[in-house]
Structures are given as C-alpha cells and as structure tokens.
Amino acid sequence: MQASQFGQLQELLRHWNSRLNLTRLVEADDYWIGQVFDSLWPLQPWLTAPTAELSVIDVGTGGGFPGLAIAIALPQAQLTLVDSVGRKLEAVGAMAEELGLGERVKLRCERAEKSGREKACRGRFQLALARAVAAAPVVAEYLVPLLTSTGTALLYRGQWSSDDAEQLGRAAQLLKAQVGEARALELPRGRGQRHVIPLTPQAPCPSSYPRAVGVPAKQPLGQQAST
Ligand code: SAM
C-alpha cells in the first residue's frame, strides 16, 4: 500500500511539475533517495516505534516534502503543511487528495511567523520540521513555538559544523529549548551528507517569538552582534 502510494506520488509530481516548477527531484534516485529517503530517515525513532497519534507540522513544505512522504509512511499521523506560496500548496493539496490523504493532511497558506502566533498552531504539535527552508536559527524560531511541551523539532540540514551548533545553541537558549545530539547520515549513491538536529522545549517559548514576518531571517537569533 505505502510502496504503491510512493509510486503514485512520483506520478503526481511529474504531472504537477509540468505545470509549475515544484522540484528538480522527480526521477529515479533523485526521487527515491533525494525525496523519499531523505524525508524519512530523520523520522527513524517514530517509524520504528509508532505512537497511536502524532501531530506533525512541516514548515516550508514547497512541493510537499518531507510532509507528504511522512503522511504516507506514518498512517497514524495528522499533518499540517505550511507554505507561503499558494500555487505550490494547491498542487500539494491536489496530490494529497489523489493519494487518499485529504483527511489527514491540512494546508496553511501563510508565513511560518504567522502560524507560530495562531491559536490553532502554537503549542500544538508533537513534531515540527523543516527541510531546506532557512538557516538553522531562523528555522528554530519558526518551529519551537509550534511544539507541545513534550514535542520535538527536527531541523533537516546538509553540512553541520561546530560554529552552526554554537549559533543554534544561542538561539535555542532564547527560545527556551535545548539542542539535542545531531545525527549524521551519508545518503546512498554518493548523494551527500545529511544531518538532523533535534530541539526540545525546556519551558514555554517566550511570547515574543516568532518575531514579525521577515524579522527572523533578517536578524537570526543567536548572531553575536544582534542579540
Ligand atoms: N521543504 C521543501 C523541500 O525540502 O523540498 C521545500 C524547500 S523550498 C527550497 C523552501 C520553501 O519554504 C519554499 O516553498 C518557500 O515558499 C517556503 N518558505 C520559506 N520561508 C517561509 C516562511 N517564513 N513561511 C512559509 N514558507 C516559507
């Protein structure tokens, strides 16, 4: 069932990609490794020990990754997919419907800074994640306010350095979250290194975060000069 849904998703991506430029990663290994595997490997703890229910938010979902891949792989998960570009979300919504995931996949066409202040989103998710959206401290400011007190944010990264970790640590402190141990993985067939960085809340996120639309990216938390 899931294998055929992933095959169907590839067909749907081909279809929608011919209308709008959703993603480069549609064929062969680009799709199976660069999209499906790359979306799912950070979820290994949740895939190996599935919980009865799981509320997940994918911020900056673009063409639907990692969100749609997670909706297929974790049938108990409720997904909220956020992106500020309406035409991409329309395509993602159509794909979710075709895949029979419409009831478990909600869409929000808005900036992540706004989601973090909405009652329906703030403090509501057990998992909040983002791939290829912005620098780690910016993403942390988008994701941490969305977490329940026992939730986890997953930052999907490519390379990860000790400087990155230090800057994220300073941002996390302001957000009252703790940075967990980064996990690293070499993608199959020489497709590069990946890291996933978990963040967990230590106390309620201060109500001043996320800051107004555009501010997190312009003045990332934890930059020595601005904080
Ligand atoms: N996550 C997808 C992936 O890995 O293929 C898409 C990555 S794409 C490079 C980044 C996406 O994040 C874009 O679709 C963009 O519109 C969205 N995005 C960036 N900043 C955002 C924000 N503050 N709020 C909502 N969406 C945002």
What domains can be seen in the chain, in order of their start residue?
A: 2-222 (3.40.50.150)
Q: Is the CB of 60 under 6 A from ligand 1?
A: yes
What is the reported pLDDT for 225? Answer: 57
- One pLDDT digit (tens) per residue for the chain, 227 residues: 898 999 999 999 999 998 888 888 888 899 999 999 999 999 999 999 878 899 999 999 999 999 999 999 999 999 999 999 999 999 999 999 999 999 999 999 999 999 999 999 999 999 999 999 999 999 999 999 999 999 999 999 999 999 999 999 999 999 999 999 999 999 999 999 999 999 999 999 999 999 999 999 999 999 865 44
Cβ proximity of 63 and 87 under 8 Å: no
C-alpha 72 – ligand 1 centre gap (Å)? 20
Give the predicted TM-score (pTM) of the model: 0.97
Residue having the nearest C-alpha atom to atom 5 of ligand 1: 65
**Best substitution site from 13, 83, 88, 194 to test ligand 1's pocket, by max atoms within 8 Å of Cβ?**
83
- What's the rounded Cα separation, in Å, for the pair 198 and 162? 15
Q: How far is CA 103 from CA 40, 93, 98, 148, in A?
A: 21, 11, 11, 22
C-alpha 82 – ligand 1 centre gap (Å)? 8
